[in-house]
Structure 1
Amino acid sequence: MPGEDDRSASADSDEQLLVLPDALRHELKEPMGPIETDADRLLEAVDGPLIAVGDVVTYHFLEAGRPPDVAVVDERTKREAVDEEIRATVTEETTLEATNPPGALSAEMIETLVDAFDREKPTTILVDGEEDLVALPAIVAAPEGASVVYGQPDEGMVHVKVTDDHRAEMRALLERFEGDTERFWDVLE
């Protein structure tokens, strides 16, 4: 029956594919690239697609006049609600929505990220939950030379210029997460 298929597909999309184990948390505290505090200066080093993970990072790029090709926001920064100006600015052009629990990567989040990469126009994904870990699959899925930028609390914006080495490093890290890594890679790729 069509209704049953629709319900089971929806249920699958809510599942947590990967969960960050406590043993890996300390490794994610180290920035994966150089830290910049000035969006204009960071943008000087961007010559391909721009992927922003985080509300404050996305806000800075929008204020600098460079909408990210893909932005992932959750209306929060450092686990607190962002101020109204940031929220209104980063969610104004929301194109897609996804649910993603804290400390995990859901099937729905990964499917939505892949969808965003396939779009021609700048796409903002509004996450119900937490977007913190989305930078990892974004680095794997982004094209060579793309810039994935995420916030480093109280320090600035971390700029990862995507290379095969970065992808390999993120793949190895994601393989150490708990969950269904095989299905995760099927959804991402």
Structure 2
Amino acid sequence: MRVLLLPEEMRDELKEPLGILYRCHGVECVERMAEHLRGAKRLIAVGDITTFYILKASLMPDLMIVDHKTKRSPVEDSIKRRHLEGSYRVVTVENPPGTLTDELLGAVRESLNGCTPTEIIVDGEEDLAALPAILYAPVGSAVVYGQPSVGSVLVMVTPEKKSEIEGILKRMIVKEKV
């Protein structure tokens, strides 16, 4: 299995928002970007807290990517149980911190090519999952992820943004995992 590893020299670069940073918290952030989210071809939520507040604002993401952690600590059970059982297809993948595994990349690609709302539960970390979400989402989609202690980032998927993400992924270290 192939793994993309984030090189140390790229870490600061990826701390910068990939889209529009909304400096707010909770439902307020979702409400401020709601027009973009409602008009999106697909809505993708990355992160437990982001997903929780999007659902709390009565929006239903087409794809949720979570790891049951926030700032590397476990989230409360009330945040884990944020949607009705059975309303999403659930896929569990392994993805260590600072990496993108073939397993995660494949699950994101498959879910965005299909029509069934999907929750990907990551065993490890979903810290880089916005990258494949942007890459594989149809143009016109919205990807939302949290910017720790600052707010939320909204990425509207365009051909230019997809090209930018491809460039980032090409600069990551390819490692074969046995």
1:33 has 2:28 as partner: no
Q: 2 CA distance for matches of 1:55 and 1:150? A: 9
Change (3 A) 1:95 1:101: same
* Other-structure match for 1:23: 9
CA-CA distance at 1:121 after TM superposition: 2.6
**Higher-Rg member (1/2):** 1
Q: Which amino acid aligns with 1:76?
A: K
Q: 1 CA distance for matches of 2:83 and 2:167? A: 31
Contact 1:55/1:90 (<8 A) preserved? no
RMSD of aligned Cα (Å) = 1.7
Contact 2:89/2:116 (<8 A) preserved? no
Question: Which residue of 149, 154, 164 corresponds with 2:149?
Answer: 154
CA-CA distance at 1:118 after TM superposition: 2.3
Aligned residues: 167
Deviation per residue, 1:87-138 (Å, 9 max, x gap): 1216954521111111101111111111211221321111111111011111
Q: 2 CA distance for matches of 1:79 and 1:175? A: 27
SS at the partner of 1:117? helix
Contact 2:89/2:117 (<8 A) preserved? no
TM-score (norm 1): 0.83
Q: Structure 2 matches for 1:1-189, cutoff 5 A? A: 15-36=1-22, 37=24, 38-46=29-37, 47-48=39-40, 49-89=42-82, 92=85, 93=88, 95-179=90-174
What stretches of structure 2 of length at least 5 have no aligned partner? none
Larger helix proportion, structure 1 or 2? 1
TM-score (norm 2): 0.88
What stretches of structure 1 of length at least 5 have no aligned partner? 1-14, 182-189
CA-CA distance at 1:165 after TM superposition: 1.0
Q: Which amino acid aligns with 2:117?
A: P
CA-CA distance at 1:44 after TM superposition: 1.4
SS at the partner of 2:81? helix
Quick check: 40-49 or 22-31, which moved more? 40-49
Contact 2:2/2:102 (<8 A) preserved? yes
CA-CA distance at 1:83 after TM superposition: 1.5
Contact 1:53/1:151 (<8 A) preserved? yes
Q: Which amino acid aligns with 2:53?
A: H
Q: 2 CA distance for matches of 1:16 and 1:140? A: 18
Q: 2 CA distance for matches of 1:180 and 1:43? A: 39
* Other-structure match for 1:184: none
